Amino acid sequence: MNIKEFFFTAFYSGYCPKAPGTAGTLVAMAIYIAENLIFSGVNPDILNIVNLLFVAAIIYPSVKISDYAEKFYNSKDPQSVVLDEVIGYWISVLFLPFSFSYAVLAFILFRIFDIIKPFPARSLQSLSGGLGIMIDDIIAGFYALIVMHIADYFFNYYNLILP
């Protein structure tokens, strides 16, 4: 077993024959949900800080492991590499209250932004190596994060309760 391959394919979900990026994002969402269920008794502010620090800490190693993945597959931005989707999704849920509805909404928004690649994501994905693999999904994650926080503001303003 190649441990790097295990991670850059998000536990081999990147080998899903249809929509590997969506499969990788589902893995990210499952981890996010499991984390919040396991640590439901932890102060949400502390959990948010830990999540931010974790995401920040793994971006550089993710770029490096994505560099390796391009060499492993001998191609630019191989479809099987879905670690970028995992990081992007985790960015999209930073500093939000946990709910299953928010987890799913963030999933949908992140996938939309990842697919349409709004400025500057599309142009930056042409960067070489792991940075080119990761940067468009990081940007998509931030776009989804912004929309999620706007949605959260309006849900709270209008007292909409989501499960």
- Write the pLDDT tens digit of every residue in 31-77: 999 999 999 999 999 999 999 999 999 999 999 999 999 999 999 99
3-state percent breakdown (helix, strand, coil) of the chain, nearest 5: 70, 0, 30
Cβ atoms < 10 Å from Cβ of 59 = 15
Q: What is the pLDDT of residue 27?
A: 98
Domain map (residue ranges) of the chain:
3-157
pTM for the predicted model, two decimal places: 0.95
Q: What is the pLDDT of residue 163?
A: 63
Which residues lie below 8 Å from residue 66, measured CB to CB, with a gap of 6+? Answer: 8, 81, 83, 84, 129, 130, 131, 133, 134
Q: What is the pLDDT of residue 1?
A: 65
Residues of the chain with pLDDT under 50: none
Which tokens hold the place of 57? 């800490």
